[in-house]
Structure 1
Amino acid sequence: MRPGTQWMERKRLESHCHVESLMSCQMLPPKLLRRWESSLDMRGRNKIEYMHTLEDGYELVDLVVTQTLVLHVMEAPGDILVFLPGQQEIETFDHSLKQIIIAHGHTQLITCPISAEVLEPTPQGVRKVVLATSPAEISWLMLNSIQYFIDSGLCKMKSYDLMAGKELDRMSPVSKAEATQRAELGLAGSTCYRLYTNNFYEGLQENTTPEVLRRNLVNVVLVLN
Structure 2
Amino acid sequence: MVSQDLLKRFSAGFQRFQKTWYCPENNIYEDLRAGQNPYALVVACSDSRVDPVLLLDATPGDLFVIRNVANLVPPYEPDSHHHGVSAALEYAVRHLRIEHIMVMGHAKCGGFTSLLEVSHSDDEFLNIWMSLACRAKAEVDRTLPDADPDERQRACEMWGVRFSLDNLMGYPWIREAVERGELLLHGLYFDMGTGELLYFDAHREAFVPMVEACASAGASSVRVRR
TM-score (norm 2): 0.33
Select the structure with the greater relative contact order (CA < 8 A; seq sep ≥ 6).
Answer: 1
Structure with the higher fraction of residues in strand conformation = 1
TM-score (norm 1): 0.33
Structure with the higher fraction of residues in helix conformation = 2
